[in-house]
Amino acid sequence: MPLAHSLAKRPLRALRLPAALRGERGLLIALALFVGALSILPLGRLAYAALFPKGVFDATRIVEILGNRRIFEATLNTIWISIAATLLATVVGTLAALLSALSDMRARTLWVFGFVLPLMIPPQVIALAWIQAFSPASPILGPLGLALPAGTRHPLYSMGGIILLLGLYNAPLVFLSVRASLYRVPSSMLEAAQAQGARGFPLIRDIVLPLARGGIFAGAALAFVSSIGNFGIQAMLGIPARVPTLITLIYRQLNSYGSSALNDMALLALLLAGLTVLGMALTAWLGRRSDQRVDATRRPPRRALGRWRLPIEATAWAYLLACLALPLSALLGTALVRGVGQPLTRDTVTLENFSNALFHHDGIRQAFGTSLLLTLGTVAVLIPVAVALGYVLCWRPGWVARALAVASELAYALPGIIIGVAMILFFLRPLPFIGTGLYGTVWVIFAAYLSNFLALALRPILGGYAQIERGLDEAAQLAGAGIFARLRDVVLPSLAPSVMAAAILVFMTAINEIQTSVLLVSSRAQTIGPMIIFLDEAGSSTLAAAVGCLMVALVLALMGLSLLLGRRLPEGVLPWRD
Amino acid sequence: MSDIRIDTLGKRFGNTQVLHDVSLAINEGEFVAVLGPSGCGKTTLLRCLAGFERLSAGTIAVGGRTVSSPGRHTPPEDRGIGVVFQNYALWPHMTVAQNVAYGLKIAGLAKAERAARVAKVLDTVELGPLADRRPADLSGGQRQRVALARCLAMQSRVVLLDEPLANLDVHLRAALEEEFARFHAQSRATMFYITHDQSEALALADRIAVMDKGRILQFAAPRALYSEPADETVANFIGEGRVIDVRSLEPMGAGRARAELLGRNAPLRCRPDQRAQPRARVSFHPGDLHLVPEAEGIPAHVIRASYRGAFLRAEVMAGPRADIPFTLNIPAPASLTQGQRITIALRDGWVLPAAA
């Protein structure tokens, strides 16, 4: 008799699910319910509210709203800003990737860390830092005599300023994607071209760039999605500059008119979602003819820059100085004085803003507490869900799993503000059984985070699954272990590094999150992300700068922590590691 | 209680039919090898038995209990079947002892009993001193013994082995083949061994199922497979077999026959019910050809002779137009040179039954 049959079954648990809901089928049903309730239903509700506001489809209303001059202008602005910023990000990101992947520049690891760092800093903090750095009252350029004369209009408060900042902010996304594809270019292809006499610029133009094409367009798609949905920069620069975009329009209308404007805003959100999907589809189409070469054994060797080395290195470091060091030190400079524009001297320097931010300002303290709890809760729920969803996606593929993955990707890729509108619509009415709505409570933000960040948690975990040998799970199955025992005893220990990476990524993204929560925060539930905008709007720029500095410090601490345990992580999971 | 009945099993992946009408009856305690080229469906057959794949047609019954059919599927967790994976699938984060104990822990065995059984099993496979090592610190052979110990601990009555020697070097293979034989003798489990290496299959198995393109071609004892292949594919596949045309086949009773090969008489074996035929196909192996004095044999000339240690391997051409190639082994000491003229004779061969 096999052991499995001869032994008495384990003592019955007090509660057992019916057979149909146990095991893998039960897991799949639970996952479908989770993704369905948090991603599919709210987005469906949004589309319904946009197109059928009173239960009927009304074409004239749609034409009327979309034909409105202000909305038309905002739509055109949105399209133009996102396309221009994407082009800028693609050029800068590709150049940086070529430099770091193929050249023998010195101190590369440090430079890459600096180049990717802005990606991890919340956009509203970046925007605030740039505003401080290039304002007429700049704490850094001022003493150097390089600041603009007082009374000039701030150069970043303009369409060009928004494009510049969005482009530079998203360049690391293109960089990561292009670098990954450059590492996959077989070195023999470059050597063959060199044997034919190609070198320098022709080698890059004719061989390297065509081979990295898939990565360039994938990066461009990411940059587009991130630009069109970037609330932090569009709001911090666009609102003072009076350059309306769809995102800022939705935000301001909801703030002014409340839920009466919801159906119209749902339509705008749907328009924004449509533009996002259109942009992704267009870049995917441009970057088609996917590359199937898998010769990943040998990275292309780094090429000597020769006599160009010094000028190129100087340019690279000057870029970091201008785009990272200058804004961040300006932010710190502002945080260290009592009022904006005060020169930073031994007499004016003060830690008052930091102590206020950390200990005295109730709003900030509560917001930080709420954000921390929300983030920890999000990590605690999403990591097990992502591990289970990854299992189904990798080892039990089928149309249900595919649909769940697509839904979670959509909830992640669509601008956060769309999820925000969807969540308001979905949770506005009182819930059945409970009798009270969740709108205005911290639970709506929690639901939005769970919906928004599932795909973010899923990516490193899928990477981890790709490295586990499937036989390990099958062997445990033969040992009699059910799905949950296998996930706990076999999958999770093998997946631990990727799970850590996923937790860090979700934590870093959620703790400073602004896009979704800016619509969902209320007097009862504040998060720290939008706090900077509220403080800045209320005129407390120095306090906002101090909060921004603390956010950067938190991000740096987490990145440092992740690098400490980085050695055990699969390659390519942490973007800031070279 | 652990006999396996596979009945008209079919398996499709999308539009590709991977297994056609596979039927095998395996006795309790038997060691069966499934032999076939890669891509012939043998691994799919093993995964069907283990319960990792659902059937498209047919049934699998183990110990009289139907475990798989298109409408019914016992999950692998509940089959109590052991599998030794090609790369052993040892859990890297558990020690040797934990690897062996895991199934017992899942089954809810008390801790003391578990430890006792693990210790006993590890002693059986001579891994007792390594109980606290991790799989990464073991050699290939030791890893395989851990995989076997896992099956022993679970007292699996059916053990499936998926090309367990494929990743090992030649020297280790012989030692590990012995290990399997010993494991089989001790556990008396029904063993189902997948391989593409015929020497492994011939050495280990009680019976061998030869598979090709998703079908079972022949299921028989190694000796029968070698000397009485069922068809040309099996004949060509096993032991460097060769198939050739003969004329004027005449049965002589008691399974003997004779026929004419290139104008010379050849003694052959055949089925008892074999009838006389003007033409037939005969299978033989290089060892069935011999050098004979000039008057008795088929004239041939040597194309190539290569030294193989215990014998000399000769490639020769024979026939009226010198265009029929033969390969024969000439026992040492011998020497042949290219172009040398020799005479050869076929001393044994098997008349392939006419295709039904």
3-state secondary structure chain B: CCCEEEEEEEEEECCEEEEEEEEEEECCCCEEEEECCCCCCHHHHHHHHHCCCCCCEEEEEECCEEEEECCEECCHHHCCEEEECCCCCCCCCCCHHHHHHHHHHHCCCCHHHHHHHHHHHHHHCCCHHHCCCCHHHCCHHHHHHHHHHHHHHCCCCEEEEECCCCCCCHHHHHHHHHHHHHHHHHHCCEEEEEECCHHHHHHHCCEEEEEECCEEEEEECHHHHHHCCCCHHHHHHCCCCEEEEEEEEEEEECCEEEEEECCEEEEEECCCCCCCEEEEEEEECHHHEEECCCCCCEEEEEEEEEECCCEEEEEEEECCCCCEEEEEEEECCCCCCCCCEEEEEECCCEECCCCC
The closest CB to that of B108, out of A2, A10, A478, belongs to: A10
Tell me whether B93 touches chain A (CB under 8 Å). Answer: yes
Spatial contact of B212 and B36, defined as CB atoms under 8 Å apart: yes
CA atoms within 13 A on the CB side of B207: 13
Mean pLDDT of B122-143: 87
- Chain B residues with CB-CB distance to A494 below 8 A: 91-93
Q: Where residue A318 falls among pLDDT bands split at 50, 70, 90?
A: very high
Spatial contact of A253 and A265, defined as CB atoms under 8 Å apart: yes
Tell me whether B311 touches chain A (CB under 8 Å). Answer: no
pLDDT per position as a tens digit, A545-573:
888 898 889 888 888 887 776 666 656 66
Alpha-carbon distance B35 to B83, whole Å? 17
The closest CB to that of B83, out of A3, A475, A481, belongs to: A475
Length, in residues, of chain A: 578
pLDDT at B271: 87
B63 — phi, psi (to 5°)?
60, 35
Mean pLDDT of B73-100: 87
Contact B154 A475 (CB under 8 A): no
pLDDT at A66: 82
- Chain A residues with CB-CB distance to B90 below 8 A: 472, 475
Q: Where residue A234 falls among pLDDT bands split at 50, 70, 90?
A: very high
Restricting to A residues 476-495, those with a Cβ less than 8 Å away from any Cβ of B are: 476-482, 485, 489-490, 493-494
Alpha-carbon distance A291 to A108, whole Å? 28
pLDDT at A1: 43
Spatial contact of B127 and B142, defined as CB atoms under 8 Å apart: yes
DSSP state, residue A103: B
pLDDT at A185: 78
Contact A478 B83 (CB under 8 A): yes
pLDDT at A431: 65
List the structure tokens of A370.
Answer: 């709420």
DSSP state, residue A285: H
Mean pLDDT of A437-451: 85
Tell me whether A432 touches chain B (CB under 8 Å). Answer: no
pLDDT at A94: 94
Share of chain A above pLDDT 90, in %: 17
DSSP lists the bridge partners of residue B351 as B282
Restricting to B residues 139-158, those with a Cβ less than 8 Å away from any Cβ of A are: 150, 154-158
Residue in A closest to B2 by C-alpha = A1
Alpha-carbon distance A424 to A265, whole Å? 11
Residue in B closest to A493 by C-alpha = B93
For chains A and B, count residue pairs whose Cβ atoms are closer than 8 Å: 97
Domain boundaries, chain B: 4-232, 242-351
- Radius of gyration of chain A, Cα coordinates, nearest whole angstrom: 25
| CA torsion through residues A63, A67, A73, A79, sign | positive
Spatial contact of B180 and B208, defined as CB atoms under 8 Å apart: no
Contact A481 B102 (CB under 8 A): yes
The closest CB to that of B109, out of A7, A482, A485, belongs to: A7
Interface test with B, best of A6, A396, A477, A478 (most B CBs within 10 A): A478
Q: Where residue A433 falls among pLDDT bands split at 50, 70, 90?
A: low
CA dihedral A375, A228, A221, A174 (to 10 degrees): -70
B206 — phi, psi (to 5°)?
-70, -45
The closest CB to that of B77, out of A5, A8, A482, belongs to: A482
pLDDT at A275: 92
Alpha-carbon distances of A7 from A3, A481, B104, rounded to whole Å:
6, 15, 10
Tell me whether B166 touches chain A (CB under 8 Å). Answer: no
The closest CB to that of A477, out of B77, B109, B150, belongs to: B77
- Radius of gyration of chain B, Cα coordinates, nearest whole angstrom: 25
Give the lowest-confidence range in A232-236, A434-438, B183-187, B304-308. Answer: A434-438
Alpha-carbon distance A136 to B147, whole Å? 73
The closest CB to that of B77, out of A7, A469, A481, belongs to: A481
Spatial contact of B1 and B8, defined as CB atoms under 8 Å apart: no
Tell me whether B84 touches chain A (CB under 8 Å). Answer: no
DSSP lists the bridge partners of residue B283 as B243, B350
Q: Residue A566 carries which side chain, given as an amino acid letter?
A: G
Contact A2 B150 (CB under 8 A): no
Alpha-carbon distances of A464 from A470, A497, B136, rounded to whole Å:
12, 8, 19
Spatial contact of A99 and A237, defined as CB atoms under 8 Å apart: no
Tell me whether B85 touches chain A (CB under 8 Å). Answer: yes
Query: Which CATH superfamily groups domain B242-351?
Result: Nucleic acid-binding proteins (2.40.50.140)
Q: What is the pTM of this model?
A: 0.79
Strands, sheet with B207-212, edge to edge from the N-terminal-most edge strand: B81-84, B158-162, B190-195, B31-35, B207-212, B215-220
Contact A474 B85 (CB under 8 A): yes
Maximum Cα–Cα distance for chain A, whole Å? 91
- Concatenated DSSP letters for A295-360? --SSPPPPBP-GGGHHHHHHHHHHHHIIIIIHHHHHHHHHHTSSSTT----TTT--SHHHHIIIII
Would the pLDDT of A2 be above 60? Answer: no
Contact A2 B80 (CB under 8 A): yes
The closest CB to that of B80, out of A5, A481, A490, belongs to: A5
Asked if residue A497 has a cis previous peptide bond (ω within 30° of 0), the answer is: no
pLDDT at A78: 94
List the structure tokens of B311.
Answer: 């014998």
Contact A4 B150 (CB under 8 A): no
Query: Which CATH superfamily groups domain B4-232?
Result: P-loop containing nucleotide triphosphate hydrolases (3.40.50.300)
Mean per-residue pLDDT of chain A: 83
Tell me whether A474 touches chain B (CB under 8 Å). Answer: yes
Contact B156 A2 (CB under 8 A): yes
Residue in B closest to A395 by C-alpha = B52
Q: Where residue A295 falls among pLDDT bands split at 50, 70, 90?
A: low
From the list B3, B33, B29, the residue with the least C-alpha distance to B205 is B33
pLDDT per position as a tens digit, A504-548:
888 888 888 888 888 888 777 888 888 888 888 888 888 888 888
Interface test with A, best of B102, B109, B117, B188 (most A CBs within 10 A): B102
- Chain B residues with CB-CB distance to A23 below 8 A: 75
List the structure tokens of A69.
Answer: 């001059």
List the structure tokens of A99.
Answer: 């430099």
pLDDT at B312: 85
Q: Is B330 exposed, middle or buried (0-12, 13-18, 19+ CB in 10 A)?
A: buried
| CA torsion through residues B332, B334, B339, B343, sign | negative
The domain defined by A68-289+298-314 folds into MetI-like fold (1.10.3720)
Contact B76 A9 (CB under 8 A): no
Q: Residue A420 carries which side chain, given as an amino acid letter?
A: G
Would the pLDDT of B18 be above 60? Answer: yes
Would the pLDDT of A214 be above 70? Answer: yes
Contact A2 B155 (CB under 8 A): yes
Alpha-carbon distance A370 to A361, whole Å? 14
Q: Give ipTM to 2 decimals.
A: 0.76
Q: Which residue has the tokens 């760092």?
A: A117
DSSP lists the bridge partners of residue B247 as B260, B279
Tell me whether B230 touches chain A (CB under 8 Å). Answer: no
B346 — phi, psi (to 5°)?
-90, 120
- Concatenated DSSP letters for A436-504? S--TTSHHHHHHHHHHHHHHHHHHHHHHHHHHS-HHHHHHHHHTT--HHHHIIIIIHHHHHHHHHHHHH
- Chain B residues with CB-CB distance to A472 below 8 A: 89-92
Alpha-carbon distance A511 to A558, whole Å? 11
pLDDT at A7: 45
Q: Residue A193 carries which side chain, given as an amino acid letter?
A: A
pLDDT per position as a tens digit, A239-262:
888 889 999 998 888 888 766 678
Alpha-carbon distance B354 to B349, whole Å? 15
Would the pLDDT of A317 be above 90? Answer: yes
CA dihedral A308, A313, A316, A318 (to 10 degrees): -110
pLDDT at B251: 86
Alpha-carbon distances of B77 from A163, B67, B93, rounded to whole Å:
57, 12, 21
Alpha-carbon distance B349 to B229, whole Å? 11
pLDDT at A11: 44
Alpha-carbon distance B122 to B115, whole Å? 10
- Chain B residues with CB-CB distance to A3 below 8 A: 80, 103-104, 107, 154-156
Alpha-carbon distance A211 to A187, whole Å? 11
pLDDT per position as a tens digit, A517-529:
888 887 778 888 8
pLDDT per position as a tens digit, A89-117:
999 999 999 998 888 888 888 899 899 88
- Chain B residues with CB-CB distance to A485 below 8 A: 106
Mean pLDDT of B190-218: 91
pLDDT per position as a tens digit, A373-431:
999 999 999 999 999 999 998 888 788 888 888 888 888 888 888 888 888 888 887 76
- Chain B residues with CB-CB distance to A10 below 8 A: 107-108
- Chain A residues with CB-CB distance to B89 below 8 A: 469, 471-472, 474-475
Alpha-carbon distance A234 to A170, whole Å? 13
Tell me whether A7 touches chain B (CB under 8 Å). Answer: yes
